[in-house]
Amino acid sequence: MFHDRLHILLIPALQRAFKDTFDTQVEERALVLQQTRPEFEGDITINVFPFLRFTGKSPEQTGQGIGEHLVAHVDIVERFNVVKGFLNLVISDAYWLDFLQEAGTKDILAFPPTGAEVMVEYASPNTNKPLHLGHLRNIFLGWSVSRILEAAGNKVVKVQVINDRGIHICKSMLAWQRFGNGETPVSSGLKGDKLVGKYYVEFDKAYKKEVDTLVATGTSREEAEKQAPILLEAQEMLRRWEANDPEVRALWEKMNGWVYDGFNATYQRIGVDFDKNYYESRTYVLGKADVLEGVKKGVFYEKDGAVWVDNTKEGLDEKVLLRRDGTSVYMTQDIGTAIRRFEEFPDLKKLIYTVGNEQDYHFKVLFIILKKLGFAWADELFHLSYGMVDLPSGKMKSREGTVVDADDLVQEVVDTARAVTSELGKLDDFDEEEKAALFEMIGLAALKYFLLKVDPKKRMLFDPAASIDLQGHTGPFIQYTYARIRSLLRKADEAGAGTSAMDDHPLLPEERAVIKQLHQLPAVLNEAATRLDPSSLANHAYELVKAYNGFYQSVPVLKEADAGKRSRRLALSTAVAMATKKAMWCLGIEVPERM
C-alpha cells in the first residue's frame, strides 16, 4: 500500500497520542488523514467522531487532547485547532521546505520497481475503416494507463488486437472489386485506411439500393435484407477466405496492407505505439480446444449439439461457446487468446482490456468463464470500460460515412491551435518549422487532455474549440504554464539568480498552496495506477499549475530583492516544472520549452 511521508510520520504519532491520552489502542486502518478544507486553518484534518466511544469524551475534548499531544511530541505539527470534532493540524514550514528541496532535485513521480508485469490492450481497430473519435478516447486511455503504470514501477506490455477478418472486411473488399477500378492509395492520394473505408461506405450504399429494389418487387424488407445479391456475394467471399482461396487471400492481404500503413501513420502522429500486435485472423481459431477441455471437466455442457456455459448462479445467463456446426463465437477466441497470453508472458500479473462500455457484459462473462476453468490469474483481469464520445453534431455512424475521422479531428485541433496561438503574437522568434511543431504539440495536448480529464466511465461531449483555451481547464493551459516557468528559469540562469541558499522565513500562503499540491501528486499518481483512471492525475496537474499561476501573479520571483527568498521561489518553480512535465508525460502529452 502506498503511503505519503505525512502518513508515515503522523499515523504512528496519532496511535501514540490515543494510547497516552485516552489509554486506547487505535488500528492504523481506522485513522484517515484528509486535506483540510480551504475555509479552515490547517493542512491535515482528522475526524475524531469515530473514536468517541473509546475516549469517553466530547468531540472537542478528544480533538483537544490529541492535538496537544501531537504538538508536544511531533516536531512537524506546529499548531492545531478543533472545529466541531474535526482536528485540523498545521504542518510546520520546515517540513514543507524539506519536501520542496527534494522535489526540486529528484523525480517525485518515479516509484521503485514493483516486479509486476502488466499487459494493456487498447486500440483494437477494424481493417475496413479508418480510426475515428471513439478510437482516440480508447487509444489515449490505454496509452496513458500504460505510462501511469510504468511510472508506478510496473513493467508494461502494450498490445492491440487488429480485427482483420469477417464479413465487414469482405464488404470493403467486394466493393473495391466492383467499383474501385484498380484505385490505390498512391493513385487516389488517400491514406490506405481511408481508401478502404470509402469502399465500406460504397458497399452499404449498394446494399441499401438492392434491398429497396427487392422490396419494390414485393419481397418483404426482412427477407430482402437477407437476400440482397451483394450481401450474398460478400458472404461467399468470406467462405472463400476461410477456405484459403488464393485470390481472396491475396486481395485481403493487399487491402489490409493499405490499412496498416494508414493506421501506423496516425499512430505515429499522435505519439503511440505497441509492443505486440495480435491479429483476429490468427486468434479466431483459438479457444475451441479450451472449451472442449471445459466440457470434459464438467465446467461447460452440451445441448442440441452446441457447447454452453451456465452463469445463472452469478446472476447472468447461459451462453453458447461453440455452435452446433463446431464454429466459434467471439467469446471462444477471447478465452483462448487470454490463456495464450499468460502462457506467452509467464510473468504477467495483470491484463487490462481497454474497450467501450457496450462490451461490459461480454467481459463479465469472459472473466467468470476463465475463473471457472481454474485460472488463478482470472482475478487479475480488468475491463477498462469507457463511455462514448459525442460531438455537437451528434452520434456517429461508420456505415453511412458520418464518423468523425481521427486524422481530420487531429488536423482540426492543430489548425485551431495555430489560429489561437498566432493571435497572441508571441511567436516572432520562431521559424516556420518551430511554429509547425509547436502547433502540433498544442493541438494534440488539447485533444488528449480533454478526453483524459473526464472519468472514463462517463459519456462525454468533445468540443474542439473549448479544448484549446489557453486560460481554461485545458492541456494548452498546462503547457503554457510550463513554458512560462521554463522562461523564468532561463532568465534566472542568465542573471545568475537562485544561487543562494533557500530562505527559511515563514511560507507565504501562495507558496504553501503550491507545495501542498506538489506533495499530493505522488499519492494521486498511485491512485490513478490503482484505479486505472488517468482523470485524477489530469485534474491534479491542472490544480497544480493553477496554484502556481496564483503564486506567480501575486508573489515576486526574479524581482524579489532578498536572495534567499528569490532562491526559494525559483526552487519552487523548478519543482513545479519537473512535476508538471512528468505528470503530462504520464498522460502522453508533451510540453514545450517556450510558447
Place of cell 528569490: 566
- Least confident stretch, 265-269, 370-374, 421-425: 421-425
Tell me: the pLDDT tens digits for 375-403? 999 999 999 999 999 877 654 444 444 56
Identify the three-state secondary structure at position 381: strand
Confidence band (pLDDT; 50, 70, 90) for 316? Answer: very high
- Contacts of 170-173 with CB under 8 Å at 24 or more apart are 170/234, 170/235, 170/237, 170/238, 170/241, 171/128, 171/200, 171/203, 171/204, 171/234, 172/128, 172/129, 172/196, 172/197, 172/199, 172/200, 172/203, 172/255, 173/199, 173/237, 173/248, 173/251, 173/252, 173/255
DSSP 588: T
Q: How many CA atoms lie within 13 Å of 169's alpha carbon, on the beta-carbon side?
A: 27
Q: Which sign does the torsion angle of CA 502, 507, 511, 516 carry?
A: positive
**pLDDT at site 5:** 86
**pLDDT at site 3:** 63
Tell me: the pLDDT tens digits for 81-132? 999 999 999 999 999 999 999 999 999 999 999 999 999 999 999 999 999 9
Task: Calculate what percentage of the chain has a pLDDT beyond 90.
Answer: 90
- Does an H or E element contain 310, and which? strand 306-310
Is residue 106 within 8 A of residue 529, CB to CB? The reply is no
Domains detected in the chain:
5-91 (3.30.1360.70), 166-279 (no CATH), 408-586 (1.10.730.10)
Tell me: the pLDDT tens digits for 457-475? 999 988 888 888 888 999 9
**Averaged pLDDT score across all residues of the chain:** 94
Q: What grid cell was written down for 27?
A: 488500528
The one-letter code for the residue type at 572 is L
Identify the three-state secondary structure at position 277: strand
Q: In angstroms, rounded to a whole number, what is the distance separating the alpha carbons of residues 556 and 329?
A: 66
**pLDDT at site 402:** 55
Q: In angstroms, rounded to a whole number, what is the distance separating the alpha carbons of residues 590 and 586?
A: 10
Within 8 A by CB and 6+ apart from 162, the residues are 124, 125, 127, 260, 277, 278, 279, 280
Q: In angstroms, rounded to a whole number, what is the distance separating the alpha carbons of residues 255 and 253?
A: 6
Q: Which residues of 460-492 are buried (b: 16+ CB within 10 A; e: fewer)?
A: bebebeebbebeebbbbbbbbbbbbbbebbeeb
**pLDDT at site 291:** 96
Closest CA relative to residue 472, chosen from 581, 573, 391, 545: 545
**pLDDT at site 393:** 64
Tell me: the pLDDT tens digits for 206-218? 999 999 999 999 9
Between 475-495 and 432-452, two packed helices, what is the crossing angle to 10 degrees?
A: 130
Q: In angstroms, rounded to a whole number, what is the distance separating the alpha carbons of residues 175 and 196?
A: 9
Predicted confidence (pLDDT) at residue 355 exceeds the cutoff of 80 = yes
**Pairing state of beta strands 44-47 and 117-121?**
unpaired
- Kindly report the three-state secondary structure assignment for every residue of 105-147: CCCCCCCCCCCCEEEEECCCCECCCCCEHHHHHHHHHHHHHHH
Predicted confidence (pLDDT) at residue 424 exceeds the cutoff of 80 = no
Tell me: the pLDDT tens digits for 295-314? 999 999 999 999 999 999 99
Average pLDDT over residues 342-370: 97
Predicted confidence (pLDDT) at residue 498 exceeds the cutoff of 90 = no
Q: In angstroms, rounded to a whole number, what is the distance separating the alpha carbons of residues 129 and 125?
A: 8
Tell me: the pLDDT tens digits for 505-528? 899 999 999 999 999 999 999 999
Q: In angstroms, rounded to a whole number, what is the distance separating the alpha carbons of residues 86 and 577?
A: 34
Within 8 A by CB and 6+ apart from 75, the residues are 92, 94
